Amino acid sequence: MKLFSVPIISVLCICASAESTQTAAPSRQRLRAFEPRTMQQRSAVSSHIRRTTGASGASARPMATPVVVTLPPSTIAVGFQAAPHISSGTTTGGSSTTPYRTVLGDFDGDGKMDVASVVQDIDGNFLISVLLSNGDGTFQAPVLTAVTFAANDLLAAATLNGDLKWDIVLVHSNSVDVLISTTGGNFAAAVNYPDSIPTPVAVGLLDGNGDSFIDVIVANANGTPAPVSILPGNGSGTLGPEVVQHYNGTMEYGVIADVDGDTRPDLVSATQVFLNNGTSTYSPGVDLTGTSNTCGAGFGSVVVADVTDDGRPDVISAD
């Protein structure tokens, strides 16, 4: 990863100096000293003004020297610092690993964002690789935990038990695994919870039922209508039986987030937004204007974030 910065140039415009203002506006006392007293004196002064300033009688005013600002040449060459390679870990058998899915989160509760990835070794085994942050852009050695995972499964992270250490949720066909963080980037044994989502394409870890606890919400790719499962959290890291909602549509990949500010989680695909109206069925999909989705709607093709810094979530779609 490389970081880039863009120089900011401030231009100061000066209209007139204080000295110019004083010269153009002599004091009342000075004007009174030269005031003509007789009619003959007045006529002489008027004749002199017409000769020196023209018929209009407007006196000349000192002009401020224009400020010349030289701007640096424009550039389109922006980029990032050289990114060093960071290993996702080596198994006890000496097998290297390849990242498959990645999320950010504070997995040791020290206030610094760490990196967690689902990785695969050369034998096809999946593991969670946690890189704990040093807070300066570098990371500690990877911590590996064996997990069950498949090619189309999803990864999410949040703190489910309120201890400030983020936990891992792995989304499978018809179930999810919850791995509670312990210490040093390690996790307790995965606990499996069944759901009714055979083809998961979106997962969100947020409050879906208004009780202030983090729930696990998973949406299916399609259906008539397509199911959305809410596995309610209770603040201790465990989940209750699912509650099922539905939406009328299809998607290959989606994001679950509150995009209209009503505290209810909505469903966003690369081309449509399905608002949660608080009933068992989401509102009809609203097309995202100007999205043809020419890049495809695979994993990561849409995200929700406040990129305009106005306090409102924006939808960013690959197109």
* Cα diameter, the chain: 115
List the one residue out of 184, 181, 219 whose CA is nearest residue 198: 219
Q: Cα–Cα distance between 263 and 257 in angstroms, integer?
A: 9
Q: Write the pLDDT tens digit of every residue in 177-222.
A: 999 999 999 999 999 999 999 999 999 999 999 999 999 999 999 9
What are the φ and ψ backbone dihedral angles of 216, each rounded to 5 degrees? -105, 120
Q: What is the Rg, in whole angstroms, of the alpha carbon atoms belonging to the chain?
A: 34
Structural contact between residues 144 and 125, judged by C-beta atoms closer than 8 angstroms: no
Q: Write the pLDDT tens digit of every residue in 109-140.
A: 999 999 999 999 999 999 999 999 999 999 99
User: Structure tokens of 112?
Assistant: 């610094």
Query: Is this prediction's pTM over 0.85?
Result: no
Q: Cα–Cα distance between 46 and 49 in angstroms, integer?
A: 5
Q: Cα–Cα distance between 284 and 272 in angstroms, integer?
A: 9
Whether omega for the bond prior to residue 225 falls within 30 degrees of 0, making it cis, is: yes
Half-sphere CA count of 89, side-chain side, radius 13 A: 28
What are the distances in angstroms from CA 251 to CA 200, 254, 269, 282? Answer: 10, 7, 6, 14
User: Structure tokens of 129?
Assistant: 């690789």
Other beta carbons within 10 angstroms of residue 70's beta carbon come to 4
Give the three-state DSSP class for 135: coil
Q: Write the pLDDT tens digit of every residue in 47-86.
A: 554 554 454 444 455 555 555 555 455 455 556 777 788 8
Model confidence at 291, pLDDT cuts 50, 70, 90, reads low
